[in-house]
């Protein structure tokens, strides 16, 4: 088709289509609904009333309180934050949960005696560690009740194992049996 013919067809069909649409809108009273709703909103926005200064201050303070407290009221810490102690590899371990920039992590676990809850002291013993180079094996010993637990690994490996076990129990949900 020629460009000129397309222009004339568009000029003729556009008013016809818009006339049909306008007739449909008027018959279905959609236009009246839109106009009446717009007028109601406009009238509501133009209402005038007086409020004493103390009322404005009260409204401001209530708004400020609600804004700052509603988030605090509904903000829940993860359930596993209650999981801060466990018996892993025959020793009681304790740690704290921390958050930094939305990242959740736990502190290095500390070993405690499972009998008297006294902090265990690490002692190195024996020859070189089990395939760990020059590091020696560790014995966690209670200076109060003489409890001791020996490991064929160095201190860092034992603490790392306890830390990984904590992470595993959180990931699998096993910690819930301990917390509840």
Q: Closest by alpha carbon to 95, among 105, 106, 103, 82?
A: 106
Q: Mean pLDDT for each 10-residue chunk of the chain (180 residues)?
A: 74 79 71 79 72 80 73 65 91 91 87 93 68 66 91 87 93 85
Report CA 128 to chain centroid distance, whole Å: 44
Question: What was the pLDDT predicted at 147?
Answer: 92
Going from the C-alpha of 44 to that of each of 33, 35, 37, 70, the distances in angstroms are 17, 14, 11, 29
Could you write out the DSSP letters of every residue in the chain?
Answer: --HHHHHHHHHHHHHHHHHHHHHHHHHTTHHHHHHHHHHHHHHHHT------HHHHHHHHHHHHHHHHHHHHHH----GGGG--EEEETTEEEE--EEEETTEEEEPPPEEE-TTT-PBPEEEEEEEE-TTSTTPEEEEEE-TTT--EEEESS-HHHHHHHHHHHHHHHHHHTTHHHHH-
Neighbours of 85 (CB within 10 A): 17
Give CA–CA dist 142/119, Å, rounded. 7
CB 138 within 8 A of CB 123: yes
CB 85 within 8 A of CB 94: yes
Question: What was the pLDDT predicted at 72?
Answer: 56
pTM of the full structure: 0.54
Q: Hey, where are the domains in the chain?
A: 3-74, 79-179
Structure tokens at 10: 């568009």
CB 130 within 8 A of CB 96: no
Question: What was the pLDDT predicted at 114?
Answer: 92
Question: What was the pLDDT predicted at 70?
Answer: 62
CB 110 within 8 A of CB 95: yes
Question: What was the pLDDT predicted at 74?
Answer: 59
Question: What was the pLDDT predicted at 177?
Answer: 85
């Amino acid at each position: 088709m020629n460009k000129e013919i397309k222009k004339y067809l568009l000029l003729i069909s556009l008013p016809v289509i818009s006339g049909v649409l306008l007739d449909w809108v008027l018959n279905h009273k959609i236009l009246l609904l839109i106009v009446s709703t717009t007028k109601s909103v406009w009238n509501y926005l133009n209402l005038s009333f007086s409020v004493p200064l103390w009322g404005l201050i009260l409204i401001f303070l209530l708004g400020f309180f609600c804004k700052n407290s509603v988030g605090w009221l509904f903000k829940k810490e993860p359930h596993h934050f209650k999981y801060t102690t466990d018996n892993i590899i025959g020793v009681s371990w304790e740690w704290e949960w921390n958050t930094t920039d939305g990242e959740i992590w736990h502190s290095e676990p500390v070993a405690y005696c499972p009998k008297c809850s006294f902090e265990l002291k690490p002692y190195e013993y024996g020859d070189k560690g089990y395939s760990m180079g020059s590091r020696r094996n560790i014995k966690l010993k209670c200076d109060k009740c003489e409890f001791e637990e020996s490991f064929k690994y160095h201190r860092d490996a034992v603490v790392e194992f306890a830390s990984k076990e904590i992470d595993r129990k959180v990931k699998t949900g096993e910690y819930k049996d301990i917390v509840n």
